[in-house]
Amino acid sequence: MENDASAVVAAAPHAQGGPHTDPFTPPADSSLWRKDFLIGAATASYQIEGAVNEDGRLPSIWDTYSATPGKVLAGDTGAVACDHYHRWEQDVDLLAGLGLEAYRLSTAWPRVMDEKGAPNRKGLDFYKRLLERLKEKNITTFVTLYHWDLPQHLEDRGGWLNRETAYRFADYADLMSRELHGLVDAWATLNEPWCSAYLGYCVGRHAPGLTNVRFATQAMHHLLLAHALALPVLRANDPRSHKGIVANVGRGTPNSDSAADRRAAELFEIQHNAWVLDPLFKGEYPQDLFELWPRAEPLVLDGDMQKINAPLDFLGINYYFRTNVASDGGAGFTEVPLEGVERTQMGWEVYPDGLRELLIGFKKTYVNLPPIYITENGMASNDQVIDGRVEDTQRISFLKRHLAALDQAIKAGVDVRGYFLWSLMDNFEWAFGYERRFGIVHVDYKTQQRTIKRSGELVSKFLKDRNAQAQ
């Protein structure tokens, strides 16, 4: 493997302007010009690392799920992905070259512990070397402990349906925070527990592929318990770092002004947002959730909710789209796709106002809301390299409008400290395999060449302009 980043990062001939105009730079009064507002990019272990059978890494539920015929588009798996496990030095150089100030990554639980919970030194050393290099480059590090790649041996014993998994997660958090203390600026316990619980256990579109609503509510409770058990361990082992959790949130809007459709929109946001946020910030599950899902209450033991309700240093928010809903005629809702709206390659509606509306709503709803980081925001498009360039015009417009909506929320009093693009580079997009491209850097999966997209060039230019202005 060559260590020269130029061997894999295609040149960006117009990164400083050239014949292109700059449709990205925020207005002069935008909060984004503040030097203390952190701007970075995010990835996740299973989506980029590959090397699934190397150096003692154990199988994860996503190895199993993606190898199951019919589960992932085109039969794709994360076996190679972006080969980041072997190309991490070049990828750090790429981050630094773009001028990104922060990097959000996840560690792979199956890479760092064996079935008995003993450390896997080779896996730990990989993350240690990666984080040390990031610190050398003065890049702020956000590390997520769980981005969905549960060790398969734990799933074999019930996975998140087994309360014991929450205690094993605390052991994992203990190991990682002892090994990596001083190298991590912010720890997130979980990424998007809604996806793990609902997509994984209710509708079966994510690993482990189960389809029972009572499984989903119990899995959610054990995920949040795992978060709660890990927090004091992280605080004890790495006291100078910040600790939080990352939730994906969705905006639900009513299809009409009828009382039934307005209630449907409320129920959508209760299921999508309050199911996670109410336990964290109110110490209880929203009772209206069980109007939607009767007799699906999880088993909660004494003291669980008090632990889950512990204070956080930050909340990570991931936002992508809104959902237009109508009453299903009963106690639920049904999606009603709008006609004539802009959509991404995923089929998701582009709706920047939803980010502002949700953030302002959360500030009103949760009096103990900690500082917020937008830990994921971005879009997929069918990007292609043509004459050495990737002109991702829709993504540039998407980012500009969402950052403007974020700025409006900040000016309305929401304490938002930073923004992470999803994603640094194209990668394995879970059930959609490699077809959907979210990166500001294009990846040719056959050659592993990285090509900075026009969006990446413009983000880089803005950061360099902001840095120059601050000096």
Amino acid of residue 325: V
Q: Is 283 exposed, middle or buried (0-12, 13-18, 19+ CB in 10 A)?
A: middle
Amino acid of residue 231: L
Strand-pair category, 416-422 with 372-377: parallel
Element holding 38 (H helix, E strand): strand 38-42
CA 211 from centre of chain: 23
CA 101 from centre of chain: 17
Catalytic residues: 376
Task: Say whether 170 sits in a helix, a strand or coil.
Answer: helix
Give the whole-angstrom CA distance, residue 432 versus residue 202: 19
Amino acid of residue 378: G
* Contact between residue 409 and residue 355 where contact means Cβ atoms under 8 Å apart: yes
Q: Whose CA is closest to 292, among 261, 328, 319? A: 328
Number of Cβ within a 10 Å radius of residue 1 = 9
Partners of residue 113 on adjacent β-strands: 119
Beta strand extents in 378-438 (DSSP E only): 416-422
Q: Whose CA is closest to 395, among 462, 455, 458? A: 455
Give the whole-angstrom CA distance, residue 398 versus residue 37: 20
Q: Whose CA is closest to 56, among 118, 133, 3, 106? A: 118
Query: CB neighbours of 396 closer than 8 A, spacing ≥ 6?
Result: 23, 24, 454, 455, 458
Give the whole-angstrom CA distance, residue 284 versus residue 81: 39
* Contact between residue 112 and residue 124 where contact means Cβ atoms under 8 Å apart: yes
